[in-house]
Amino acid sequence: MSTTTVTVTGEPGYDIRIGRDILGDLPELIGPGAAKVLIVHPATLGARAERLRVSLSDRYEVLLAEIPDAETGKRIEVAAFCWQVMGQSDFTRSDVVIGFGGGSVTDLAGFVAATWLRGIALIQVPTTLLGMVDASIGGKTGINTNEGKNLVGAFYAPSAVLVDLDTLDGLSQNEILAGFAEVVKAGFIAEPEILDIIERDVDVATDPHSAEFRRLVELSIALKARVVGEDFKENGLREILNYGHTLGHAVEYAERFQWRHGAAVAIGMVYAAELGRLTGRLSDDVVDRHRSILTSLQLPISYPAGRWPTLLSVMKRDKKARGALLRFIVLDDVARPTVLTGPDESLLFAAYQEIGS
């Protein structure tokens, strides 16, 4: 099947290539000017990273940086390890970093590329659904500190993103379904076709080998590309991507980051839908649609009623960190997002009662 290209506009713009069995496109994306390539990857993808190294090694000197898995890879010590590998092999401005893994790897690799010699070329090759539709696109790179997640980082656009759906082979169904929360989000804020495809046949929609799955990935990527192309540094439109995330982040915090991001965002979307309904914006049908679609994807739609004080205080603390009023993205209808600023606490509580279990 052919490759689909989605272009992210901006300065600099870049292409996202989507297809199957397209890792062979990498030399074309790396270009002839580079001498060295660093592939940053987790141990889970060690064998595949090695195959990638071999496939590129007739043209480039290819180094592998195997990093700790998931969030433990997003640490300053791990970035320093990558800088050390690059320094010891005289990485120059014309050389290239490849992030080969899930969102944790693309975040770390992006940060390393953004900081080495004040920025060298970065190619993101996401291997999780979340990485494909969200983390690898949009140029947010970063690491965690002891004080919190993603506190240090840079907006740094990749020079290309290669989404090879075949790299999802081996990823657990649980990770696929967690990634679907961001796909559903794209459906509710902008792309109703996504919701229709999932409702038509959820098994087909979530099968990484189906044409429908590819269509969902393409629609989600096209939406994110459009939004970040217009608002790279999150000064306006990009905020719509936070649908479900205000409460979702608080749930992640309350769960000490042991939950998949998608599960927390699923609860956050139902909460935002209830806020929309209680403020007279959203119909019962659309709110029900949130619950039925997320349930069909085995994602949670409720959270213990007694956790409200914790969630509220975390949201307030986040709000303080951003120096603004508490803000929620809510919907006037499917594909009609808007911002709800500084809602009354009684309204916030009433909406929580609708999702409390």
Ligand X SMILES: NC(=O)c1ccc[n+]([C@@H]2O[C@H](COP(=O)([O-])OP(=O)(O)OC[C@H]3O[C@@H](n4cnc5c(N)ncnc54)[C@H](O)[C@@H]3O)[C@@H](O)[C@H]2O)c1
Scanning residues 67 to 86, which ones bind ligand X (CB under 6 A)? 69-71, 74
Nearby residues of 45 by Cβ (< 8 Å), 6 or more positions away: 100, 101, 127
- Of the candidates 35, 85, 154, 171, which one interacts with ligand X according to CB under 6 A? 171
Measured distance CA(253)–CA(160) in Å, rounded: 32
Q: Are 56 and 31 a contacting pair, CB within 8 Å?
A: no
Q: Are 339 and 329 a contacting pair, CB within 8 Å?
A: yes
Nearby residues of 339 by Cβ (< 8 Å), 6 or more positions away: 239, 327, 328, 329, 330
Report, in Å, the least distance between residue 155 CB and ligand X.
Answer: 10
Query: C-alpha 143: how far from its chain's center?
Result: 14
Q: Does 246 bind ligand X (CB under 6 A)?
A: no
Q: Please say which residue, 32 or 170, places its beta carbon nearer to ligand X.
A: 170
Q: Please say which residue, 39 or 348, places its beta carbon nearer to ligand X.
A: 39
Measured distance CA(25)–CA(23) in Å, rounded: 5
Q: Does 3 bind ligand X (CB under 6 A)?
A: no
Q: Does 248 bind ligand X (CB under 6 A)?
A: no
Question: For the chain, how many helices (H) and strands (E)?
Answer: 14, 11
Q: Are 110 and 139 a contacting pair, CB within 8 Å?
A: yes
Q: Please say which residue, 130 or 217, places its beta carbon nearer to ligand X.
A: 130
- Of the candidates 46, 170, 192, 342, which one interacts with ligand X according to CB under 6 A? 170
Interface mask toward ligand X for 331-350; x: CB under 6 A? --------------------
C-alpha dihedral (17, 139, 145, 101), degrees to nearest 10: 10
- Of the candidates 4, 20, 25, 44, which one interacts with ligand X according to CB under 6 A? 44
Report, in Å, the least distance between residue 260 CB and ligand X.
Answer: 7
Report, in Å, the least distance between residue 237 CB and ligand X.
Answer: 15
Question: Given 3-state DSSP classes, what are the helix, strand and coil percentages for the chain, each rounded to the nearest 5?
Answer: 55, 20, 25
From 170-178, 191-199, 202-210, 303-311, give the range in contact with ligand X by CB under 6 A. 170-178
Report, in Å, the least distance between residue 309 CB and ligand X.
Answer: 26
Q: Does 107 bind ligand X (CB under 6 A)?
A: yes
Q: How far is CA 332 from CA 39, 165, 193, 196, 283, in A?
A: 44, 34, 18, 19, 9
Measured distance CA(277)–CA(284) in Å, rounded: 7
Length of the chain as a residue count: 357
Interface mask toward ligand X for 125-154; x: CB under 6 A? --xx-xx--xx--x-x---------x----
Q: Does 105 bind ligand X (CB under 6 A)?
A: yes
Instruction: Name the β-bridge partners of 126.
Output: 101
Q: Does 311 bind ligand X (CB under 6 A)?
A: no
Q: What is the DSSP letter of 2?
A: P
From 99-107, 248-256, 302-310, 318-326, give the range in contact with ligand X by CB under 6 A. 99-107
Report, in Å, the least distance between residue 180 CB and ligand X.
Answer: 11
Binding site for ligand X (CB under 6 A): 42, 44-45, 69-71, 74, 101-105, 107, 127-128, 130-131, 134-135, 138, 140, 150, 167-168, 170-171, 175, 261
